[in-house]
Structure 1
C-alpha cells in the first residue's frame, strides 16, 4: 500500500540551489539575511549575494569548478553561508564536516570526498590543519584571521570575473554531507541541487515561514538539519537567520530575548533544559512562537512541559540526511496533531510500510519499516554502490530502517528502529566506527557497541568488551582511549566486560542479543 501526502504536489523548480535562492532578490536585497547572535553583526541579502559571487570568482581563479569538492569545517556564523553558497556558485560541491571532529576524522572525510580545499576557523585549526595535511589538502583558508593562513576576507577582495557555470540540477552534486545511514561507517551522501531545491519546496506548505520570521540557528549548519531546515529554508523564504556557534543555555536564552527570534529549532536535549532549568525564568521568551524539534524523538510529556512553561507551540518532524532531509512534519496549521507523532508526509513524497520479516506491505495502523520515494531522495552514497543498493532498491524506494505506523488520517508515528545506528543527543553514532576504534587497542580481543538508555533516558553508546588474556585494563581506561580518537558525541559512555561477543554463523554481531541482555537486567 502506498501512502501519499494529504497536501497536493508542489512545483519543483528546475534550477540550481543558487538560482533558487539568489536568482531574483527583489525587495529582499536590503533586508537582513543573517545575524551573528553574539556580536549583532549582520549581512543583508544583497551583501550575501555579492559575497557569494566574489568567493565563487576567487575559487574559479584557483581552478575550482564542476566536479571539485571543497570542505567546510566551521561553527555557525553568517559567513558559513557565504562559503557554502560560494562553493556551489562556482559549480563545485561542498562537503560539510562536523566541527567536533578529531584530526583523523577530518582527514577521513576530506580524503574520502576527494576535497581539494578546506575552509575553517582559527579556533579549529588544531584539528583542521593536521587533518588536512593527512588528507593531502594543502589549501586551507580561515573565515576569520590566523597567522600563516589566507583569510576569507582576502578571497572576497578579488576582482576576478564571476564564473558562468552550467548546472544540471538533477545530476550535479551540490553537497556531500556524511551520514552513517543504517549501520556502517560514515558515507558521503550525494545530494543534488534538485534534491535540495525539492525539499525546500516540499516544506513550504507545512512550515508557515515569511520574510518577517526570525529563526534561531544554533543547530550546526554542517548537519543536514541545520543546513537545510534553518539556513537554506530561511534564505528561501527571505527570513532572518540568527546564528549561534554552539549551544550555551544562557546565551541561547539571551539571543531569543534580544534578537526576538520567533522560530527556534532544537534537538530534544535542549527541551530538557527549557522544561527544567531555573535560568529560563530570567529571560523574556515571549517572542518565541514555535519550537520545532528534530534529529531524535521528542518525549510527549517533555514537549508538553515546555509548551506550558514557555507558552509557545511545540512541534516535531522526521527526516534523514539521505532525504535532504525532511520527509514528515507536523504542519504549523495543525494544533490537533500530537507532538508524539512526526506529523504528515510532505508533498511529492510517497511512503510504504513494509514488514521487515516478510517483506510484505502493511496497512493503516500496522507497524512496518518506513520506505520513501520522491524528488528529495539522495542520488546515492559516494563511491559506494553496495551501500547505495542496500538503502535504495531498484524501484527507487529508500529504506529508512525506522519502524512506523500511519493512522487513518495520514499521521505518522515512528515507533522503533530496524537499523542499528545510535542517536546521541541528535547526533549519529555508528556502532561499527566505535568497534573499529576499540579493536585497535592491544588489550581488547573483541568488542561490540549498542545504544542503551542512561538515567535521563538519553540513548548512549555502550561497549561490550572481551579482553585479551591477562589484561587488567579498566572500563574507565577504555572510555578514555576511545575519547582520544573520536568526536565528543561519539564517546563510549558505558563499558561491560563479557566472555564472548554473540555472533551469527556468518560472523555478524548479534546486537539484538546484547540488547536482550540489557533488557533482562
Structure 2
C-alpha cells in the first residue's frame, strides 16, 4: 500500500458545531459587511447575519404559533432557492437549531424534488417564492393535500422583497424570526463530537447520470474542511477582497467556499441570484470584485467572449476554477487577456467532491505555469492512494484510481447502503472513481473518470486526452469522445462527437470531407491505439452540465449536422 500525505502542514481540527465555528472570526468586526445583494446593493453585516440566524433558529421551535407543522431537532429540512441574502441566514439558522439541512437544485423539476424530499425524509421545505408552485406540486405527488403542503412550506424571502406574489398567505422567514421576540427563552443546540454525524446533511448530485444521492456530512466534516481550506488557502485579505457568488450556494462548491468559508474568513461576498453574463460582468466592476469562484464555462467567458471588453474587470486578481475539467488553453487565454489590460490575474484550479465535503485540493499561486493542468496540492490532513484495476497500488507517478481519506470524508450515502459499500473500502478509504496521478512535488493531476475510459483491446484510453487534442484544432469548438462497441472486433472503438466552428467548417466542401480531415489530423498526432476508429460525428453542440461536465449519456441525442 502506497499512501501519500499532503505536503502542507497539518491543521488543528475543531470539535465545535458549524454555527459556532463560522461565527468566530479573529480580527473581523461584527459590523463588517458579510453579504451584498448584487442587483440591489443591499448589505448584511456579520452581526445582521448571526443575530437573524439565531432568531430564526428560535422561531423554528415555535412554528405551531403560525399554524405550521412543528419542527424538532433532528428533522431534515430542504432548501430550494437560488442565491439570495436569505439563503445564508436560513442555512445557519437551521444548523443552529439542530436541524439537518438538505439542498435541492433551483433547476429541479417535480420528479427530482420529489426524489429529494422522499430520500431525505424532509419535514419542511424552505422555498424561494419563484419556486413555490414547484414545491406544492412535489408535495401533492407525495400524497399531501394543499393544507398539509402549506403547513410544511416556508417562503425563503423577506416580506419586503419585490416583486413577489404572496399566494394564500404562506409564511415567510421574517414571520418566523419575529417569534423569537415572543418566545425569548431558547436553549442552544446540544452538541458532542460523538453525535455530530447526525446533525448536518448535504445533498448534491453525484456524477452526471441518474438521480442525486443524499450524502451524510456531519458538523465535524464541515468544520474540518473549513479549517483545512484555511490552512491551504492563506491568500485572502478581508480588508481588500470581495468575492462574487455566481455559483449556487446549494452546490457544494458554492456552499463551502462562498457561504461558510468566506463568512468564516471575513471576506465580503457579492451574491448574484442567477448567472447572466452582463450582470456578472457589471458586478465585477461595480463592486471591484477581486476573487471569483468559477466553473469552466464562466472561465471561458472571461477568456474568449468579446463582450468582456466592454466591462471593467481590472480588479480581478484570482479566479478559482472547479466543478469540471478545465482546458489549459482557457487558463492561458484568460491570463493573457487580462495581462494585456495590465492585470496579473491568476487562474487556479481546485478539485473537490461532495463526498469529501467539497474540497480536496487547491493550486497555490506561483505554480500556474510550471504545473498547469494540475488541480494542486492535497488539503492538509488528507491522504491519497492510486489503485490499479487489480486492487493493488500502482507505482509512484503512475495513474490509478484516486482513493482518499481525511476528516472531511463523508460517513456514507443516506439510505443507500449498496452505494456506500461500493464507494467506501472496509478500512475507510473513499474510492473517487477518478483516474489520477501525482508528481514528485505532490501536485495532483486528474486524467478521467474510471467509468469513462475507453477499452480498446488491451488498452485503456482516457477520452479527455483525445478531447483536449481535438479542442486544439482551430475548426473544433467542442468535442466529446466515447467508446462504441464493435461486434466484429469484439472491442470498443473511439468515436468523437464534434461541434465545429461554423466559420471554419464552411471551408470544407462537405461533411464527409471535414470528418476525414479531422480523423487524419488526429491519426497524425496519436499512438495507433488512440485513433478514432469509431468515426467522427458532427453535432450542433456538446451537451454539458451547468458546471461544464460533458453529459456523455446524452451525446447520442445531440442534434447531428448532416449537410
- TM-score if structure 1 supplies the norm length? 0.80
Counting only pairs closer than 5 Å after superposition, residues 159-178 of structure 1 correspond to structure 2 as 159=181, 160=183, 161-169=185-193, 170-178=196-204
Question: Structure 1 residue 215 and structure 2 residue 243: aligned?
Answer: yes
Aligned match of 1:246: 274
Q: Which of 420, 428, 432 does residue 388 from structure 1 map onto?
A: 420
Counting only pairs closer than 5 Å after superposition, residues 72-221 of structure 1 correspond to structure 2 as 72-135=79-142, 136=144, 137=149, 138-144=151-157, 145=164, 146-148=166-168, 149-158=170-179, 159=181, 160=183, 161-169=185-193, 170-180=196-206, 185-207=211-233, 208-212=235-239, 213-221=241-249
Distance 1:234 1:243 in 2: 12
Distance 1:168 1:183 in 2: 37
Distance 2:138 2:416 in 1: 23
In the TM superposition, residue 156 of structure 1 has moved relative to its aligned partner by 1.7
Distance 2:292 2:242 in 1: 8
- Deviations along 1:330-385, whole A, 9 cap, x unmatched? 02354455331101111000000000x21110132201000000000001111111
Partner SS for 1:165: coil
> Number of paired residues?
442
Question: Structure 1 residue 264 and structure 2 residue 301: aligned?
Answer: no
**Which moves more between the two structures, 414-423 or 323-332?**
414-423
Distance 2:54 2:154 in 1: 17
Runs of at least 5 residues in structure 1 that lack an aligned partner in the other structure: 424-449, 458-488, 498-521
Partner SS for 1:38: coil
Distance 1:244-1:407 versus aligned 2 partners, 3 A rule: same
Distance 1:51 1:30 in 2: 14
Contact 1:257 1:285 in 2 (8 A): yes
Distance 1:100 1:496 in 2: 21
- TM-score if structure 2 supplies the norm length? 0.74
Distance 1:319 1:110 in 2: 25
Q: Which of 315, 319, 330 does residue 348 from structure 2 map onto?
A: 315
**Which moves more between the two structures, 295-304 or 183-192?**
183-192
The structure with the larger Rg is: 2
In the TM superposition, residue 179 of structure 1 has moved relative to its aligned partner by 2.8
Distance 1:380-1:492 versus aligned 2 partners, 3 A rule: closer
In the TM superposition, residue 495 of structure 1 has moved relative to its aligned partner by 3.6
Distance 1:27 1:301 in 2: 38
Distance 1:491 1:363 in 2: 31
Q: Which of 357, 363, 382 does residue 330 from structure 1 map onto?
A: 363
Question: Structure 1 residue 281 and structure 2 residue 309: aligned?
Answer: yes
Counting only pairs closer than 5 Å after superposition, residues 361-510 of structure 1 correspond to structure 2 as 361-419=393-451, 454-455=498-499, 494-495=555-556
Partner SS for 1:57: helix
Contact 2:335 2:347 in 1 (8 A): yes
Partner SS for 2:61: helix
Distance 1:26-1:116 versus aligned 2 partners, 3 A rule: farther
Aligned match of 2:42: 41
Distance 2:51 2:27 in 1: 14
**Which moves more between the two structures, 257-266 or 332-341?**
332-341
Aligned match of 1:12: 13
Q: CA RMSD in A?
A: 2.7
In the TM superposition, residue 276 of structure 1 has moved relative to its aligned partner by 1.6
Distance 1:128-1:406 versus aligned 2 partners, 3 A rule: same
Partner SS for 2:222: helix
In the TM superposition, residue 277 of structure 1 has moved relative to its aligned partner by 1.3
Q: Which of 344, 349, 358 does residue 377 from structure 2 map onto?
A: 344
Distance 1:496-1:246 versus aligned 2 partners, 3 A rule: closer
- Deviations along 1:455-499, whole A, 9 cap, x unmatched? 279xxxxxxxxxxxxxxxxxxxxxxxxxxxxxxx989754469xx
Partner SS for 2:418: helix
- Deviations along 1:14-55, whole A, 9 cap, x unmatched? 101001011467742100000111110111000100110011
Contact 1:90 1:163 in 2 (8 A): no
Distance 1:405-1:281 versus aligned 2 partners, 3 A rule: same
